[in-house]
């Protein structure tokens, strides 16, 4: 959840750390801080609030050094305040640590350390780890080195961590370690950086190494060494060159990352499809799963597992795969799947969907499925991520980094991949070439459809202007568009703090209809397909109860006009592509509502982009 950036080299670390924290703020923004080594003195400065609050504090009290660690926090243990902010210092104030993750047995360790007279200042689990390292380093009868003290401490803790540690008594050394929480080592010319992801690193070097679980890196001057935490066995890893650009992680002319990323869909969906169509044969080419394609075709069942927005994508994937490939598909929240006695064997395929490729529950689900003999496939956006490395095969989306916490372009790219996967499976079964070509033509036209949708932003803004004071919204959809109703409601909740629910339109009569009155906006997803007459009947039921009807459709209809308070018309397209275009208009509506409500759009309260703890 949190963000880590660290630097050791010949430059002033302060601007590097602060810039890195700003780029990582989407991962956590309850508080932030940095610790620096200056000759042999350790300085730490931290502050609750945004990174801008930390910058103001540093402007008032400048600090300097030759290496440093930084952290931006999303609170798990202990409320967001100055004391609970990272970095954490041990009681001697000679060791500083930043930590992502959760130490599950921190209570027991804390009691032991307190019985030895060690004082604690924060409510966090992270402080327990730095105090344990300190106790092993300064008070162990074995006279451990700093490296060995870190290793010994990590073997005592249970949980997940990505850590970076500095020690005043070993000023030329920086140590980082990973178990369940991502870390990336950037290797530059005479300098090294460590980040939770590549965003704070890319400006200084494109050469990175992705640490795996149970790995520790020691940086001394111009050298680094990677080894296993528990055995000290040296690990040889090759450098990966990342293609990320500075422009991709900055807002440019847009007021918010979310708006930029909504507009990015003009290109990100096409980038995800590029080179993957075979129009002549009405099929797709997905090289990342070619070695396991026959296993997928012969599977007795498929599980799709994900969290949040990616779970909604999985629900649509179920519709598509079952229709095209006629393989039973179960969609599970990863947080539930990992604890269920699921029916899995060697004829089962597990598809894990994650934007970051680091979602903790989804990773746990993958590992469980593999233990039970399933073949695992990943759909994610980050090359080198843990999910991309731990699954048997996978398909990358090519959306570029998504900084806004509320997922937009990553979601539509996931839908695009799932359509292409379903079509590829279907063409090997009973789906005709003609049917495949029709779907591909619709997909290839989607960039123009997105441009058309973006052009009606003024109409979306007008809807938001008249509904932003509502306390509740209801979203209704049928069939493949029910998950889009769920996703539209989620977007609204995430960034505008308006309570919203997505429902299958026919289920409205089984409860939610009791809530509808003249103050309730109801977003009705009404494409002109075989379900139209049914959704029209649901709209009439809302109208009879004086609900405010916002209709999303792809063709004006004489029946809709008198029933709807607002109609947003998007381009007519294939019924299996409509969920993509519809989701974009719903993203725009959520965005405009949040603007009118003056919400913190890119960094909504209590949320973080990548959920790397359980």
404 φ/ψ sector (left φ>0, alpha ψ -120 to 50, else beta): beta
Decide if 582 is catalytic: no
Three-class DSSP category at 9: coil
Rounded to the nearest 10 degrees, the angle between the axes of helix 13-24 and helix 51-60 is: 160
In contact, 136 and 156? CB cutoff 8 Å: no
In contact, 337 and 352? CB cutoff 8 Å: no
Tokens of 467: 């509904």
The dihedral through the CA atoms of 487, 490, 492, 496 has a sign that is: negative
Q: What are phi and psi of 484, to 5 degrees?
A: -70, -35
Rounded distance, CA 427 to CA 169, Å?
A: 65
> Which one is catalytic: 2, 380, 524, 599?
2
In contact, 468 and 290? CB cutoff 8 Å: no
Kindly state the greatest CA–CA separation across the chain: 85
* DSSP for residue 603: S
Choose among 324, 333, 417, 329: nearest CA to 378.
417
Decide if 2 is catalytic: yes
Neighbours of 446 (CB within 10 A): 23
- Summarize the chain as % helix, strand, coil (round to 5): 40, 25, 35
Rounded distance, CA 83 to CA 94, Å?
A: 17
Distance of CA 123 to the CA centre of its chain: 27
Secondary structure, 3-state, 271-313? HHHCCCEEHHHCEECCHHHHHHHHHHHCCCEEEEEECHHHHHH
> Which one is catalytic: 368, 409, 424, 609?
609
Choose among 497, 470, 486, 562: nearest CA to 525.
486
Rounded distance, CA 335 to CA 337, Å?
A: 6
Q: Prior bond to 87 cis, omega within 30?
A: yes
Cite the active site residues: 2, 609
């Amino acid at each position: 959840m949190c963000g880590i950036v660290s630097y050791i080299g010949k430059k002033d670390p302060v601007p590097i750390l602060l810039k890195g924290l700003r780029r990582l703020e989407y991962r956590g923004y309850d508080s932030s801080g940095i610790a620096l080594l200056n000759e042999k003195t350790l300085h730490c400065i931290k502050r609750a609030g945004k990174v801008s609050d930390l910058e103001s504090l540093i402007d008032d009290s400048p600090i300097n050094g030759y290496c440093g660690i930084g952290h931006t926090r999303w609170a798990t243990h202990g409320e967001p305040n100055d004391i609970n902010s990272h970095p954490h210092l041990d009681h001697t104030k000679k060791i500083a640590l930043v930590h992502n993750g959760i130490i599950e047995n921190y209570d027991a360790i804390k009691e032991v350390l307190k019985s030895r007279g060690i004082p604690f200042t924060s409510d966090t689990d992270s402080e327990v780890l730095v105090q344990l390292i300190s106790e092993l380093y300064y008070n162990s009868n074995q006279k451990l080195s700093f490296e060995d003290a870190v290793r010994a401490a990590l073997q005592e803790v249970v949980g997940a961590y990505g850590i970076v540690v500095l020690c005043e008594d070993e000023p030329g050394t920086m140590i980082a370690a990973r178990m369940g929480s991502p870390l990336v080592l950037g290797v530059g010319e005479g300098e090294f950086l460590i980040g939770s992801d590549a965003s704070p690193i890319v400006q200084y070097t494109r050469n990175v190494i992705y640490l795996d679980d149970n790995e520790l890196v020691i940086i001394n001057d111009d050298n680094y060494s990677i080894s296993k935490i528990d055995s000290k066995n040296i690990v040889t890893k090759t450098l990966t060159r990342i293609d990320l650009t500075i422009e991709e992680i900055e807002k440019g002319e847009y007021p918010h990352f979310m708006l930029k990323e909504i507009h990015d869909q003009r290109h990100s969906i096409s980038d995800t499809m590029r080179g993957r169509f075979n129009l002549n044969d009405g099929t797709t080419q997905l090289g990342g799963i070619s070695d396991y394609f026959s296993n997928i075709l012969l599977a007795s069942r498929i599980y799709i597992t994900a969290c949040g927005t990616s779970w909604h994508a999985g629900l649509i994937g179920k519709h598509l795969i079952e229709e095209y490939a006629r393989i039973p598909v179960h969609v599970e929240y990863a947080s539930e799947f990992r604890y269920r006695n699921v029916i899995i064997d060697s004829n089962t395929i597990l598809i894990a969907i994650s934007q970051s490729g680091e979602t903790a529950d989804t990773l746990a689900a993958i590992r469980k499925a593999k233990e039970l003999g399933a073949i695992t496939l990943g759909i994610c956006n980050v090359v080198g991520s843990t999910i991309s490395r731990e699954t048997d095969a996978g398909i990358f989306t090519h959306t570029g980094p998504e900084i806004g916490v509320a997922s937009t372009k990553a979601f539509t790219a996931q839908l695009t991949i799932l359509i292409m996967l379903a079509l590829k499976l279907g063409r090997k079964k009973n789906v005709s070439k003609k049917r495949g070509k029709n779907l591909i033509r619709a997909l290839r036209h989607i960039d123009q459809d997105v441009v058309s949708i973006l052009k009606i932003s003024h109409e979306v803004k007008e809807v938001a202007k008249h509904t932003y004071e509502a306390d509740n919204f209801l979203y209704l959809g049928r069939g493949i568009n029910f998950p889009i109703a769920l996703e539209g409601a989620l977007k609204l909740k995430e960034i505008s703090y308006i309570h919203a629910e997505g429902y299958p339109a026919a289920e409205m009569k089984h409860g939610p209809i009791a809530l509808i009155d003249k103050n309730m906006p109801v977003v009705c997803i009404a494409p002109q397909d075989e379900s139209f007459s049914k959704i029209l009947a649901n709209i009439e039921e809302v109208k009879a109860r004086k609900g405010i009807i916002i209709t999303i459709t792809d063709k004006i209809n004489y029946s809709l006009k008198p029933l709807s308070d607002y109609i947003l018309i998007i381009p007519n397209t294939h019924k299996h592509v409509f969920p993509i275009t519809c989701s974009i208009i719903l993203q725009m509506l959520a965005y405009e509502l949040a603007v009118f409500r003056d919400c913190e759009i890119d960094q909504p309260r209590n949320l973080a982009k990548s959920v790397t703890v359980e």
